[in-house]
Amino acid sequence: MTTISKFKGKIRDNPLVALERGNRDVMLNIWREYLNELLELNAKSGRRQLLINRIEQAGDFDALYRDWNDLDTPERAERWLALIRTAKAQWQEVEDLCLRCGECCERGSPTLMIADLHLFENDTLHMTEVYTLRRGEKGASPRTGEVVTMTEERLKLKEHSGTKHCLYYATDPNRCLIYDQRPEQCRQQLCNRSSDERPPADSGYLTREVIFGQHEELWELIAAHEQRCSIDRLEAALRDLAEDKAADSKALFDMLHFDHYLRQMLLQEWELPPGALDFLLGRPMSQVIRQFGLRAQMTPEGVFRLENMP
**Minimum Å distance from CB 88 to ligand SF4?**
19
**Minimum Å distance from CB 112 to ligand SF4?**
10
- Rank residues 47 and 134 by Cβ distance to ligand SF4 and give the closer one: 47
Q: How many residues does the chain have?
A: 310
Instruction: Give dist(CA 166, CA 282) in Å, integer.
Output: 18
Contact with ligand SF4 (CB under 6 A) among 166, 222, 252, 296: 166
**Minimum Å distance from CB 213 to ligand SF4?**
25
Q: Which of 302, 218, 226 is nearest to 257 (CA)?
A: 302
Q: Where are the alpha helices (DSSP H) in the chain?
A: 15-21, 24-39, 46-58, 61-67, 73-94, 103-107, 117-121, 184-188, 208-212, 216-228, 231-242, 246-268, 277-280, 285-288
Q: x-or-dash pattern for ligand SF4, window 71-110, by CB under 6 A?
A: ---------------------------xxxxxxxx---xx
Q: Which of 298, 285, 295, 222 is nearest to 251 (CA)?
A: 285
Instruction: Give dist(CA 264, CA 266) in Å, integer.
Output: 5
Q: Rule CB under 6 A: say whether 111 interacts with ligand SF4.
A: no
Secondary structure (3-state) at 306: strand
**Minimum Å distance from CB 307 to ligand SF4?**
36
Q: x-or-dash pattern for ligand SF4, window 6-45, by CB under 6 A?
A: ----------------------------------------
Residues that bind ligand SF4 (CB under 6 A): 47, 98-105, 109-110, 166, 168-169, 176, 178, 182-183, 186, 189, 191
